[in-house]
Amino acid sequence: MAEGKIPVRNFILLGHSHSGKTQLSEALIAHGGAIVKPGSVDQGTTASDYNEDEKERKISINSSFLHLTKNGIKVNIIDAPGYGDFVGETLSAIKFVESAVIVMNATGGLEIGTNKALRLIGEHKLPAVIFISRIDKEHADFTRCVNALKDKLGKKMALISYPIGEESSFAGVANLITKEGLDALSGDEKSKAEKLSESLVENVAESDDQLLEKYLEKGELEAGEFKSALKKAVLEGKVIPVMAGSAVKNVGVKELVDCIIEYMPSPSDASAKEATNSKTEEKLKIDPKESDFFSAQVFKTISDPYVGQISIFKVFSGKLLSNTAFYNVSEKHSEKTGQLFALQGKEHKNVEFVSAGDIAACAKLKATHTGDSLATDKTPILFERLQFPEPAISFSIKPKTRSDEDKISVALHKMTAEDKTFTIVRDAQTKELVASGMGDLHINIMIARLNKRYGVQVDVGTPKVAYKETITAKGESQYRHKKQSGGAGQFAEVWMRIEPLPRGSGFEFVDEVVGGAIPGPFIVSCEKGIKAALGEGALAGFPVVDIRAIVYDGKTHPVDSKDIAFQIASRHAFKEAVLKAKPVLLEPIMDVDVTIPDEFMGDITGSLNSRRGRIMGMEPGVGMQVIKAKVPLEEMYKWANELKSLTGGRGSYAMHFSHYDPVPSNIIQIVVEKSKKAKEEAKA
């Protein structure tokens, strides 16, 4: 190990769903002696996929944290889900590792998830190694995978191991760096592997001008020179090593671990972490040194049924001891750590301390959440908050019973703390609980967790759109409220005009009464009555906005006029005036950015147009396009599924509120009828 290097490697497992990431993670920790033998995804016995829903579906839903130790170096593994619905898990973890292992299924080739993984490591400038797994499976085609990677990566691709046999005859791997194992190959396969070994040296030499000159002069490189050059090229992103193997057969696993330790960066090799001293507002660059002040950041929260909340964090500088204290800079709150531990799936391995560059966990922190910065009050280091993708699909949820109502808020609080792409809001207008997530699968799994993990049953439906009402012309009304039977009488007469205001203006009340026709205290009553009427419009019962109400005359009774009478009269006068002022419905319009491969441009623009969307522009990228559109929110519910279908899962979108626009006349009647029906059902 080089002097001054932190003896830690942190990497994330990426790849297409069902590419074999979890099975590989089992083989890795078994190789490191962390478990006696690898578990099985099919049998639900892996350390990584330990939640019941993961075992049942045989997919990773949450990121899992594992580790092994070899040659005095601790290797932290984050097994990230492959499904796009759980991309939040990947994005929250990828900023806390120094490298990635992309798992490619030899039977599937260059799949969507592989492409996404390659895009992610490019965006995050993350050194990576590609492990072509399942070489032993039927229909495995190593050559097809290599050719696809060559087309995608060009000279960046550096094949460093070669399979000995394929499918049922797969027996091992030959090392193209040391040439160990080449003798086990024969005929064309041996010639091919020898040529690949030569081209590997050329590729690495070409990453450094001085080295290339030496290679051209001598025709070879010394072993030490080659390894140093390969590591440098990997760290700079000029080379991505590609390896072969089988997790189930435990072939190529040792070579992968050795590659990670030898060629992947330690925290010392990574760029310094940018931060701010929250006390002085000084901008800092935090280098991972054990001797420096303590700083860390929480990047994942787990709700454990036995120990409660578990906070997983990475230390960027200094050291933290078990059963000591730290300062939560984000929350401005002191915390006591309790026992620190490293995670092995759901198992906890107690540690006495955690140092710079390493990942650890702590339970039962009172005020600490995902994204919080941890430090000391003397050096309150604040890291940038984590950004999560906005949910793409929403449903309304309603507790089935009173018992479910009592339990749901605690359960939802735990679930949203654990998964930041799962959000719950209570719509102030419709009063519905609206659950939002990254896709149908995501929402379905979270609803199932509500039931199985927390014993809460809910009915699921599509949420109501938060429509509003306004007017497009002036209106006028006079209303007399008179009640004289059954006790004290009530009398009030209100004359009112209304007129539209510019969009976004809200409500304005004007008093133009002269000569005391309505006394001052009753003018206040009129305003109260109108404001009450604003909450339920005359057209379909939605809130009324952007309107000016002018009370200009009225009548009183010396005995029967009172506050409640003028509130009732003004409320009715307002509703009558609204109906005469050409009322319209307003609907929320969203800014939608859709990222898709070039070939789906026509399908997606057609889909958006069919949903009343307006294409505002396009931004070209490398093989991808971003379509910018404005689309009514009503049309976006469940669009995530159509996008997935049209693009084979290769498209994604982000959505933000833009403004309110009038609803087309042909749709108004549909909305009004739905509203009336909902009210009738509520009364029944």
DSSP string, 401-444: SHHHHHHHHHHHHHHHHH-TT-EEEE-TTT--EEEEESSHHHHH
Strand partners, 549: 498, 509
Q: Is residue 210 very low, low, confident or very high in pLDDT (cuts 50, 70, 90)? A: confident
Q: Does domain 273-383 have CATH number 2.40.30.10?
A: yes
Q: Which CATH architecture has domain 468-581?
A: 2-Layer Sandwich (3.30)
In sequence order, the 6+-apart residues with CB closer than 8 A to the CB of 8 are: 73, 74, 75, 76, 266, 267, 357, 358
Report the topology of domain 585-667. Alpha-Beta Plaits (3.30.70)
Per-residue pLDDT tens over the stretch 4-47: 578 999 999 999 888 999 999 999 999 999 998 999 998 999 99
In whole angstroms, what is the distance from residue 86 CA to residue 515 CA?
68
Structure tokens at 409: 């808020």
Residue 2's pLDDT is 43
Average pLDDT, stretch 330-336?
A: 94
Regarding beta strands 547-555 and 583-597, do their DSSP bridges make them parallel or antiparallel, or are they unpaired? unpaired
Q: Is the pLDDT of residue 576 over 90?
A: yes
Structure tokens at 284: 């800092």
- C-alpha distances in Å from residue 398, one per residue of 10, 445, 460: 42, 16, 7
In whole angstroms, what is the distance from residue 277 CA to residue 376 CA?
11
In whole angstroms, what is the distance from residue 666 CA to residue 679 CA?
22
Provide the mean pLDDT of the chain.
Answer: 90
Q: What sign for the dihedral angle of Cα 467, 468, 469, 472?
A: negative
Q: Is the pLDDT of residue 683 over 70?
A: no
In whole angstroms, what is the distance from residue 163 CA to residue 252 CA?
9
Regarding beta strands 583-597 and 347-351, do their DSSP bridges make them parallel or antiparallel, or are they unpaired? unpaired
Residue 429's pLDDT is 64
Residue 202's pLDDT is 82
Q: Is residue 682 very low, low, confident or very high in pLDDT (cuts 50, 70, 90)? A: low
The domain ranges of the chain are 8-186+239-269, 273-383, 393-461, 468-581, 585-667
> Identical fold at 393-461 and 585-667?
yes
- C-alpha distances in Å from residue 506, one per residue of 500, 544, 621: 10, 9, 41
Q: Is residue 51 very low, low, confident or very high in pLDDT (cuts 50, 70, 90)? A: confident
In whole angstroms, what is the distance from residue 92 CA to residue 298 CA?
10
Structure tokens at 39: 């578990």
Q: Is residue 510 very low, low, confident or very high in pLDDT (cuts 50, 70, 90)? A: very high
Regarding beta strands 547-555 and 507-511, do their DSSP bridges make them parallel or antiparallel, or are they unpaired? parallel
Structure tokens at 684: 């029944």
Q: Is residue 3 very low, low, confident or very high in pLDDT (cuts 50, 70, 90)? A: very low
Q: What angle do CA 282, 123, 54 make, to 5 degrees?
A: 105
Q: Which CATH architecture has domain 393-461?
A: 2-Layer Sandwich (3.30)
CATH number for the domain running over 8-186+239-269: 3.40.50.300
The burial of 5, by beta-carbon neighbours within 10 Å (0-12 exposed, 13-18 middle, 19 or more buried), is given as: middle
Q: Is residue 684 very low, low, confident or very high in pLDDT (cuts 50, 70, 90)? A: low
Q: Is the pLDDT of residue 553 over 90?
A: yes
Residue 428's pLDDT is 66
Q: 439 or 279, which is more confident?
A: 279
In whole angstroms, what is the distance from residue 29 CA to residue 13 CA?
13
In whole angstroms, what is the distance from residue 518 CA to residue 526 CA?
10
Average pLDDT, stretch 284-290?
A: 88
Q: For 118, phi and psi rounded to 5 degrees?
A: -65, -35
